């Protein structure tokens, strides 16, 4: 079994925040691949499904971003999923909007959700799907940027990105991060 975690904040007023793109990605994967209905468990919401023949437990922590590990660690422990079987979908300031990168391990790069997951698991060796939201240009504007709603002008690329991530999800389930990134890149290219 794989554990796929989308990061975000649980308040309905925050649903369209850039910080919640991880929740949005997981919602689209669960919808596209016909996961079970969401239900409360592990201090979050979970849904189960199959992606490319692999059983996936999708988890959206309801602990707020900075305490995401409080949901991830108990889910991983109960399901006996090692860190390398965990994939976290999260917002990434250092990537242009709609760009996606996948990596195993590494630091939190200032992302409090990742920092808390690493603390709770006792290991940085889990997969990260970094979903580009762009940088506002100055560090003083970062807080407002990530905790602000996507603008109307962002809606087309955002919808396209979420659709591409769900379409390419089988590559992730099969342990092919390069193929996943390539597929997402192809699907999100602007048509002339």
- Number of domains within the chain: 1
What is the pLDDT averaged over residues 107-136?
90
What is the pLDDT averaged over residues 12-33?
95
Work out the end-to-end distance of the chain between its first and last CA atoms, rounded to an integer number of angstroms: 41
Give the HSE-up count for residue 141: Cα atoms under 13 Å, Cβ half-sphere. Answer: 7
Using a pLDDT cut of 70, give the percent of the chain over it: 98
pLDDT tens digits, one per residue of 45-64:
999 999 999 999 999 999 99
Identify the domain containing residue 32 by its residue range. 2-188
Provide the β-strand partners of residue 96.
none
Q: What are phi and psi of 101, to 5 degrees?
A: -135, 145
- Residue 76 pLDDT exceeds 70: yes
Give the model's confidence band at 137: pLDDT under 50 very low, under 70 low, under 90 confident, else very high: confident
Going by C-beta distance under 8 Å and a sequence separation of 6 or more, which residues neighbour residue 177? 102, 103, 104, 127, 171
CB 147, CB 166: distance < 8 Å = no
pLDDT in the model for residue 112: 86
- Residue 190 pLDDT exceeds 70: no
Q: Please, what is the average pLDDT of the chain?
A: 93
* Burial status of residue 112 (CB atoms within 10 A of its CB: 0-12, 13-18, 19 or more): middle
pLDDT in the model for residue 39: 97
What is the pLDDT averaged over residues 40-49?
97
pLDDT in the model for residue 189: 86
Residue for token digits 């910080």? 19
User: Beta 86-92 vs 100-104: how paired, if at all?
Assistant: unpaired
CB 165, CB 27: distance < 8 Å = no
What is the pLDDT averaged over residues 160-180?
96
pLDDT in the model for residue 136: 82
The rounded distance, in Å, linking the Cα atoms of 81 and 77 is: 6
Q: Please give the structure tokens belonging to residue 78.
A: 């109960």
Give the model's confidence band at 191: pLDDT under 50 very low, under 70 low, under 90 confident, else very high: very low
- Catalytic residue positions? 19
Give the model's confidence band at 108: pLDDT under 50 very low, under 70 low, under 90 confident, else very high: confident
Task: Supply the DSSP symbol for 149.
Answer: B
CATH code: domain of residue 168: 3.40.50.1470
CB 66, CB 57: distance < 8 Å = no
- Residue 110 pLDDT exceeds 80: no
- Residue 88 pLDDT exceeds 60: yes
Q: What are phi and psi of 88, to 5 degrees?
A: -110, 125
């Amino acid at each position: 079994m794989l554990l796929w975690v989308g990061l975000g904040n649980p308040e309905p007023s925050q649903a369209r925040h850039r910080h919640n793109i991880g929740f949005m990605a997981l919602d689209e994967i669960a919808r596209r691949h016909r996961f079970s209905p969401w239900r409360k468990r592990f201090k979050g919401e979970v849904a189960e499904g199959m992606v490319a023949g692999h059983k996936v437990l999708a988890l959206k922590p309801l602990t707020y971003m900075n305490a995401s590990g409080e949901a991830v660690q108990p889910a991983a422990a109960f399901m006996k999923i090692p860190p390398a079987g965990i994939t976290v979908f999260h917002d990434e300031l250092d990537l242009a909007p709609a760009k996606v990168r996948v990596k195993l391990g590494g630091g939190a790069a200032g992302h409090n959700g990742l920092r808390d997951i690493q603390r709770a698991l006792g290991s940085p060796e889990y997969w990260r799907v970094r979903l580009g939201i762009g940088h506002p240009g100055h560090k003083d504007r970062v807080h407002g940027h990530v905790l602000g709603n996507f603008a109307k002008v962002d809606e087309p690329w955002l919808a396209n990105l979420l659709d591409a991530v769900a379409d390419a999800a089988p590559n992730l389930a099969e342990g092919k991060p390069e193929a996943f990134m390539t597929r997402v890149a192809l699907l999100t290219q602007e048509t002339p």
